[in-house]
């Protein structure tokens, strides 16, 4: 491939042909029942759209929360899709999903038609079709062993599903030990609020038992912008003496998503979280002090992204992934991805969907392909200009590395079970 036209075409074709692994979602395998959200009412009541609703109508949050789910969806459709042009990233996403299923994308009647369509779908088949349309082979879930709705389903034994991987989510343990240790105790572990050596051993036993039960591909926690490590805190002790040793034992990475400011505006609930710049020295300390652990990391603040790339150049046990939440907009994805390629080559994971509602993977992955195509094509054009040839096979290998292999290798997906 020598000219930019053929490079662009090849990149687009290869992006289209390769099935990606969606390494972080809030989707659930069907055996976890009602936890898995899908359909048009869920799409419309996504918290990204709820945040936008309150900016474009007079409905107060208290009034909105008093409505039923279909009424909330109706309010959002009317405000953001009928009375306004749905140009924001999340609003456009709903349009793209409806369009992917050949449903009308405008007018008051469109919602009723979409509801009818989704009501007719059989979940298992529908998941297969959605993954096909999204161009993904698997999705990684977020599974919380202390969620009262989820834990009993795992404890009763759920079968593995070929399209879904589990993740052991630690937020309740690491971010709320003082409120949640009693729930760990209630499951038969001798723990208490104060972390003695014996308590930490019991937390390790709890995590190990859940690793055996869930077979997670990694453990994960979402952390505030104020995250510090090391420090004199329960979280720091739990990380050093329970979480990281068990990750090492089970040969799985720890995923850290850093930079959320929880409940900046509690009145709008899940939509009320914000963003703050994190201190990356904490991440540096983790990577250096735990060289035998692997860290799969996403940062929420745009202002952290350059120093994050610098840090990843220092530590091979650090894998940057995704443009998360407020960063998942084409203008910002473009900037971050170019920066990452320029500083890290192909040794990072460009994106995950963070989908909370099944069909969102369709628009989120379509957008990723659309944004990534010109960036990758430009990268190869520069290389050709500088004197190298680029083949279709190389493009295929690079895209496979970015969207599959980097994760498979880092999470040790095909490693022997310990």
Q: Which residues bind ligand RAT (CB under 6 A)?
A: 26, 222, 257, 325, 354, 356
Q: Would you say 22 or 354 has its CB closer to ligand RAT?
A: 354
Q: Which of residues 69-128 bind Zn ion (CB under 5 A)?
A: none
> Whole-angstrom Cα distance, residue 98 to residue 13?
24
Q: Would you say 354 or 359 has its CB closer to ligand RAT?
A: 354
> Whole-angstrom Cα distance, residue 28 to residue 38?
10
Q: Would you say 40 or 256 has its CB closer to ligand RAT?
A: 256
DSSP symbols for 311-331: HHHH-TTEEEB---GGG-SHH
Partner from Zn ion, ligand RAT, none binding residue 161, C-beta < 5-8 Å depending on class = none
Q: Would you say 203 or 257 has its CB closer to ligand RAT?
A: 257
Q: Are 205 and 239 in contact, with CB atoms under 8 Å apart?
A: no
Angle at 335 between CA 383 and CA 219, to 5 degrees: 105
The one segment of 116-124, 205-213, 236-244, 348-356 that binds Zn ion by CB under 5 A: 348-356
Partner from ligand RAT, Zn ion, none binding residue 325, C-beta < 5-8 Å depending on class = ligand RAT
DSSP symbols for 224-283: ETT--SS-SSHHHHHIIIIIHHHHHHTT--EEEEEEEETTSSGGGGGGG-EE----THHH
Q: Would you say 195 or 296 has its CB closer to Zn ion?
A: 296
354 is a site residue for Zn ion (CB under 5 A):
yes
The one segment of 268-276, 296-304, 340-348, 349-357 that binds Zn ion by CB under 5 A: 349-357
Residue 24 beta carbon to Zn ion: minimum distance, rounded to whole angstroms: 6
The position carrying tokens 């306004």 is: 84
The position carrying tokens 């989707």 is: 27
Residue 360 beta carbon to ligand RAT: minimum distance, rounded to whole angstroms: 10
The one segment of 131-139, 189-197, 205-213, 351-359 that binds Zn ion by CB under 5 A: 351-359
Token pair belonging to 182: 């009693």
> Whole-angstrom Cα distance, residue 292 to residue 406?
17
Q: Would you say 143 or 381 has its CB closer to ligand RAT?
A: 143
């Amino acid at each position: 491939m020598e000219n930019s036209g053929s490079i662009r075409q090849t990149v687009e074709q290869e992006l289209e042909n390769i099935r990606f692994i969606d390494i972080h979602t809030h989707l659930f395998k069907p055996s976890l029942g009602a936890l898995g959200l899908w359909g048009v009412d869920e799409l419309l009541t996504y918290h990204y759209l709820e945040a936008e609703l309150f900016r474009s109508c007079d409905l107060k949050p208290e009034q909105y929360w008093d409505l039923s789910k279909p009424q909330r969806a109706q309010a959002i459709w009317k405000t953001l899709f009928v009375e306004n042009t749905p140009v924001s990233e999340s609003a456009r996403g709903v349009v793209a999903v409806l369009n992917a299923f050949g449903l009308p994308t405008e007018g008051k009647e469109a919602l009723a038609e979409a509801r009818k369509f989704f009501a007719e779908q059989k979940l298992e088949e529908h998941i297969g079709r959605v993954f096909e349309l999204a161009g993904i082979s698997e999705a990684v879930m977020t599974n919380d062993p202390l969620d009262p709705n989820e834990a009993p389903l795992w404890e009763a034994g759920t079968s593995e599903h070929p399209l879904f991987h589990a993740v052991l989510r630690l937020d309740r343990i690491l971010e709320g030990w003082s409120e949640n240790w009693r729930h760990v105790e209630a499951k038969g572990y001798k723990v208490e609020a104060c972390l003695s050596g014996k308590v930490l051993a019991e937390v390790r036993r709890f995590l190990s038992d859940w690793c055996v039960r869930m077979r997670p591909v990694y453990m994960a926690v979402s952390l505030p912008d104020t995250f510090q490590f090391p420090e004199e805190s329960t979280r720091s002790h739990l990380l050093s003496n329970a979480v990281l040793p068990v990750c090492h034992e089970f040969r799985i990475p720890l995923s850290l998503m850093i930079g959320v400011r929880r409940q900046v505006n509690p009145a709008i609930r899940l939509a009320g979280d914000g963003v703050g710049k994190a201190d990356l020295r904490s991440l540096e300390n983790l990577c250096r002090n735990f060289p035998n652990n692997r860290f799969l990391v996403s940062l929420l603040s745009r202002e952290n992204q350059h120093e994050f790339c610098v840090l990843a150049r220092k530590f091979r046990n650090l894998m940057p992934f995704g443009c998360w939440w407020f960063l998942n907009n084409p203008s910002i994805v473009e900037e971050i991805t170019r920066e990452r390629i320029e500083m890290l080559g192909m040794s990072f994971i460009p994106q995950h969907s963070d989908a909370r509602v099944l069909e969102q993977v369709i628009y989120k992955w379509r957008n990723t392909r659309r944004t990534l195509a010109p960036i990758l094509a430009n990268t190869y054009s520069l290389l050709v200009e500088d004197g190298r040839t680029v083949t279709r096979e190389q493009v295929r290998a690079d895209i496979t590395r970015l969207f599959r292999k980097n994760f498979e290798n880092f999470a040790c997906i095909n490693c022997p079970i310990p």
